[in-house]
Amino acid sequence: MRFVLSFLHLSAAVAGSALLLGCSAKSADPKATAVADRVLTAMGGANAWNSTRYLAWDFFGGQYQIWDKQTSDFHWEKDTLVANYNLNTKQGHVYSRGKDISASPAGQKVLETLTPTWINNSYWLVMPFKLKDPGVNLTYKGEGKTMDGAPADVLGMTFNKVGVTPENRYEVLVNRATGLVDEWAYFPKATDAQPAFRRHWNEYSRHGQLLLAAGRSEADKPARFDHVAAAQTVPDGVMTSKVPVTKIL
């Protein structure tokens, strides 16, 4: 179980913004706001985002999770380890091979990581829907080109006391032809001159009412999310299962 805990701490280190819904970023400039609005429309629109109840996806390191946006329940799995947790109450249970280990030091450690894990893993899936969240400082940086040479509008993102790592900075490249995010770059510190990574944001496909991207490859390192799903219902018992569940479609 030690390797699981180490991975959770590592993945949470790149979470830039809490996943809050709806409001415009107070510090966004008009051009940045217009680009962000275009992205939201291209991916299905605010009504589609707000009405989608469940999101499910694989994440790096063998994680799988299902997030109930309505109740804030979060079902998380890695190998034979399972956690069922509520993001509002910060209460939940952790199971190893179906046995409740919540009261053990290892189980408590997992519970402590679940909120930052959700922030991080969800941001990697739905960041384009969060460009105008409260606490996001969004600026238009001008025109640029993606790693593939496509003309893009470049957005800069910093954060005002939100998320678990508000010192991060991002650049988001929006394809000028499609209005979709094509690429993002992550800077651990807002003052960093060079990003820690630059990744594609591609392989879009329709999931329910939403257009979501599975591809997160670096220039020479393939990476993608599998089992991406958006749904209004899930099978009974999925969000409280003590063992890994069948991936939802």
In a domain, 39, yes or no: yes
- What mean pLDDT comes out for the span 204-213? 97
Contact of 197 with 24, CB cutoff 8 Å: no
- What mean pLDDT comes out for the span 80-102? 97
In a domain, 248, yes or no: no
- What mean pLDDT comes out for the span 136-160? 96
How high is the pLDDT of residue 3? Answer: 30
In a domain, 83, yes or no: yes
Distances (CA, A) of 103 to 52, 93, 210: 34, 9, 38
CB-count burial class (<10 Å; 0-12, 13-18, 19+) for 189: exposed
In a domain, 105, yes or no: yes
Angle (CA) 227-233-236 rounded to 5° is 95
User: Which domain, by its residues, includes 59?
Assistant: 2-10+23-240
In a domain, 245, yes or no: no
Q: Is the pLDDT of residue 204 over 80?
A: yes
- What mean pLDDT comes out for the span 203-215? 97
In a domain, 17, yes or no: no
Q: Is the pLDDT of residue 2 over 60?
A: no
Tokens of 23: 């409001």
Q: Is the pLDDT of residue 143 over 60?
A: yes
Q: Could you tell me how far CA 122 lies from the centroid of its own chain?
A: 2
How many domains is the chain built from? 1
Contact of 140 with 155, CB cutoff 8 Å: yes
CATH of the domain at 31: 2.50.20
How high is the pLDDT of residue 248? Answer: 94
- What mean pLDDT comes out for the span 213-224? 95
Contact of 9 with 117, CB cutoff 8 Å: no
Q: Is the pLDDT of residue 218 over 60?
A: yes
Tokens 């894990």 — which residue?
117
How high is the pLDDT of residue 164? Answer: 67
Choose the weakest-confidence range: 55-69, 149-163, 226-240. Answer: 149-163
How high is the pLDDT of residue 167? Answer: 84
Give the residue from 192, 141, 133, 172 showing the smallest Cα distance to 31: 141
Helices (H), 22-179: 30-42, 46-51, 105-126
How high is the pLDDT of residue 166? Answer: 74
Side chain identity at 191, as an amino acid letter? T
How high is the pLDDT of residue 24? Answer: 44
Distance CA 133, CA 95 (A): 34
Q: pLDDT tens digits for 23-58?
A: 444 445 899 999 999 999 999 999 999 999 999 999
Angle (CA) 26-172-180 rounded to 5° is 100
The backbone torsions φ and ψ at residue 39, rounded to the nearest 5 degrees and listed phi first, read -60, -45
The chain-wide mean pLDDT, for the chain, equals: 90
How is residue 125 annotated by DSSP? H
- What mean pLDDT comes out for the span 190-217? 97
In a domain, 162, yes or no: yes
In a domain, 15, yes or no: no
Q: Is the pLDDT of residue 114 over 50?
A: yes
Q: Is 237 left (phi over 0), alpha (psi -120 to 50) or beta?
A: left
Helices (H), the chain: 2-12, 30-42, 46-51, 105-126
pTM of the model: 0.88
How high is the pLDDT of residue 105? Answer: 97
Distance CA 21, CA 129 (A): 9
